Amino acid sequence: MPLWLELVIRVGGVLVAFLTLPLLVGQAEHKVMAHMQGRLGPMYAGAFHGWAQLVADGIKFVQKEDVTPRDADRAVFRLAPAVALVPYLLVLLVIPLGPDDLVGQPLDIGLFFVLAVVGVGVVAVLMSAWASANKYSLLGGLRGAAQLLGYELPLVLAAASVAMAAGTLSLSGIVEAWQPWWLIWQAPAMVVFFVAGLAEIRRPPFDMPVADSELVFGYMTEYTGLRFAFFLLAEYVGIVVIAALTTVLFLGGWQGPFADAQLGWLWTLLKVFAVAFVIIWLRVSYPRLREDQLQRLCWLVLVPASLAQLVLTAAVRVAL
């Protein structure tokens, strides 16, 4: 197969995943939240249980007026949604779906690349907050910056633990080195990574930057139409990315109970959607954390736990 054709197929597959998986997660969130709260959720769009609700929402956003505040920094204001969305597309390029290079672009330093790109999210928050010329947006942006910069540390330390255990920064290499007993050995790192990942994508109960009861809608207050939809899409893509990284780093990726490499992609997707369900469940079950509680959890719980896990991992590696 020509190199250019292989490249087109790989990038095309990642784009399809980028556009479809967030819609599936969003639709699942609508229905799961509804049933947890004793409701039906979407039922009419698309006829069968409202399967086309998010498609209808997307069409609605496209038709809405695109308003830019008079005092806003127009260039930065309009660029911020793209800065929030594009990093997740780049991350999806290097997350392996299955064995035998079933990945958009295999990288030997895939984990390093992922952690570096995910950190760009704070730039989008600050851009949208500052450029909006709105005090509520600015407060939300400052909250978001404090939250994202703080939770990046336990996120990186937890990922470093599993990379040290596997002896590689390649995401595919980590999956190949993974063993079932890691579910116990690396369990603290998995919990830290998952919680820090929720904070990085600003999902409840870590949604202080967009607290509607206090800040209208935080750094997204002044956004309308398609640009607002891009921020929402970034949130759902973020769910897919955090679920996929948790799956690849801590749950064995494509490894399943049967040694059939042809079904590896299926095991990966099943694990990703299972982790996404937990993310949705946490949104329904827990109230929003206060700012002091959020920072205390980061610096007094997650950071010490991740450092202790690093020491444990190093000790086990030396012993083995």
198-223 pLDDT per residue, tens: 999 888 888 888 877 777 777 888 88
Residue 1 has pLDDT above 70, yes or no: no
Looking up tokens 């990922």, which residue turns up?
159
Identify the CA nearest to 22 among candidates 239, 204, 244.
239
252-273 pLDDT per residue, tens: 888 877 766 677 788 899 999 9
3-state secondary structure the chain: CCHHHHHHHHHHHHHHHHHHHHHHHHHHHHHHHHHHCCCCCCCCCCCCCCCCHHHHHHHHHHHCCCCCCCCCCHHHHHHHHHHHHHHHHHHHHHCCCECCCECCCCCCCHHHHHHHHHCCHHHHHHHHHHHCCCHHHHHHHHHHHHHHHHHHHHHHHHHHHHHHHHCCCCHHHHHHHCCCCHHHHCHHHHHHHHHHHHHHCCCCCCCHHHCHHHHCCHHHCCCCHHHHHHHHHHHHHHHHHHHHHHHHHHCCCCCCCCCCHHHHHHHHHHHHHHHHHHHHHHHHHCCCCCHHHHHHHHHHHHHHHHHHHHHHHHHHHHHC
Distance of CA 138 to the CA centre of its chain: 23
Percent over 90 (pLDDT), the chain: 29
171: phi then psi, degrees, rounded to nearest 5 = -65, -40
Structure tokens at 304: 């010490």
| pLDDT for residue 151 | 92
Q: What mean pLDDT is reported for the chain?
A: 87
Parse the chain into domains and list their residue ranges: 69-319
54 pLDDT band, cuts 50/70/90, is confident
**More reliable by pLDDT, 58 or 280:** 280
Distance of CA 13 to the CA centre of its chain: 19
| pLDDT for residue 180 | 87
**More reliable by pLDDT, 2 or 306:** 306
CB atoms within 10 A of CB 194: 20
| pLDDT for residue 57 | 81
Q: What is this structure's pTM? A: 0.92
Best-predicted range by mean pLDDT (4-13, 153-162, 219-228): 153-162
